[in-house]
Amino acid sequence: MEVEVAGIKLKNPTILASGILGTTGASLRRVAMAGAGAVVSKSAGSEARVGHRNPTVIEVPQGLLNAVGLSNCGIDEMAGELEIAKEAGVPVIASVYGFSIDDYVKSAGALNSYADAIELNLSCPNVERAGHFFGKSPELAFEAVREVKRKVKVPVFAKLTAEAGDIAEIAKACEEAKADAIVAINTIKAMSINIDARRPVLGNKVGGLSGKCIKSIAVRCVYEIASEVSIPVIGCGGILTGEDALEFIMAGAEAVQIGTGVLLRGISVFRKVSLEMKEFMEERELKLEDIRGVALR
């Protein structure tokens, strides 16, 4: 079930999403060897970051709620981790975040030589324009993608948030800025309250919701984006089974990313999802090309 996304060949359409087992080269390599078609590193910034205080991750019905706070080792150390990850022989995608355009450009430029593609985590606030988020503003998203594209030679993926007023509009802005692919979606802002303690459970109070509970939202976003852009779309959000992945493919996705599913179903989830997709198609004598975007027709 080989697929190609923005010129990058994958042995199967499953990709490790940023944030899960993506901190070290050894963990990325392990995931790749467990069957992932590609792996995405944890988002790295121009400087190392400690993140939020505990608790940072809790389990909620049908998913996880996290407020890690972009904790990371920084781009200098991440470069070495990416080199280790590439030993597995599958495409390695470097995720970067920024609080300004310069942040994105610096981080992407530093990791350009170590990755097969750069993924821009656009769910960040712009410190130069208080109250504005890159992933919610077509203008800011366009500028971030455009400037990074000018800096790097590898494909650039834009990872978007469902919290944008019109996610398809953001995707179109990224396409106009020459993004090579769109990833949808990132986690969704949420909260859980301990009714005995009478306060939010997470140390940061608010966190990002992921897992099965956001799948239908993610499928809708992929559908809307695929309806408006011609560049590849990678679906992400609540994928645990081959059936889940096929929904995204039918909504127009070229491939899918799995994050929380790794924690809920184990590191073999990539191989399992690929096998379940293959069995579905073989039973019906179908190929991925036959069903990709079929819901859009």
Mind telling me the catalytic residues? 124
Phi-psi region of 215 (alpha: psi -120 to 50; beta: other; left: phi over 0): alpha
Supply φ then ψ for residue 32, to 5 degrees.
-60, -45
Distance from C-alpha of 162 to C-alpha of 57, rounded to nearest angstrom: 21
Closest C-alpha among 137, 267, 81, 66 to residue 95: 81
Closest C-alpha among 234, 288, 171, 283 to residue 14: 234
Local structure of residue 17 (DSSP, 8 states): P
Q: Is-cis flag, bond preceding 185, omega within 30?
A: yes
User: What would the two tokens of residue 121 be?
Assistant: 């985590």
**Chain-centre distance of CA 77, in angstroms?**
21
User: What would the two tokens of residue 104 be?
Assistant: 């994105």
Distance from C-alpha of 48 to C-alpha of 54, rounded to nearest angstrom: 18
The DSSP line for 181-242 is: EEEE---EEEE-EETTTTEESSTTSEEEEESGGGHHHHHHHHHHHHTT-SS-EEEESS--SH
Local structure of residue 296 (DSSP, 8 states): G
